Amino acid sequence: MEPQLKRVSKLIHDAENEGIYSSEDPEELYLRNMFYRVGEDLDKARRYIRQVSARISSEGTISKLPDGRYGNERAYYTSGSSIEFLFRDPDGDDRWIYSSVEHNGVDYYIVVKPELSLDGLRVRVKDLPFWD
């Protein structure tokens, strides 16, 4: 599926770069904007597919480092970093969750679980292929 998404995304980007939309026609500008959004969503879907299918290269806990960021010998997390972490839900089931890390002016947090401490968190790192 990822190769097909890549092909459609490329067609949308090529149409944008070839200037096929008239800047004087409101309907064509609308279509241009909508196809741009579709292209962005296709790229996001490709990233998720790559994330799901990537090989796990390491797994371990992270802690707060002297520079205030979080990491371990294999990974280093700062604003904008992707992260996969093990979370125990209220029913007691463990599950891996994909998110990103941001900073709130005081400390780093996980976007989908801002109340969760990163210190001592179990994470895994995946070998993602280069984006093409």
Residues 69 and 120 in one domain: yes
pLDDT of residue 124: 95
For residue 65, how many other CB atoms are within 10 A of its CB? 12
> What beta strand segments (E) does the chain contain?
55-61, 63-64, 70-71, 76-77, 82-88, 94-103, 108-110, 122-127
Give residue 25's pLDDT.
Answer: 84
Enclosing domain of residue 113: 56-126
Q: At 114, which CATH number?
A: 2.40.10
- Total of domains in the chain: 2
Q: Is 23 helix (H, G, I), strand (E, B) or coil?
A: coil
Paired tokens of 54: 């990537």
The predicted pLDDT at position 14 comes to 78
Blockwise average pLDDT, block size 10, the chain, 132 residues: 76 75 83 86 87 91 96 93 94 96 97 97 87 59
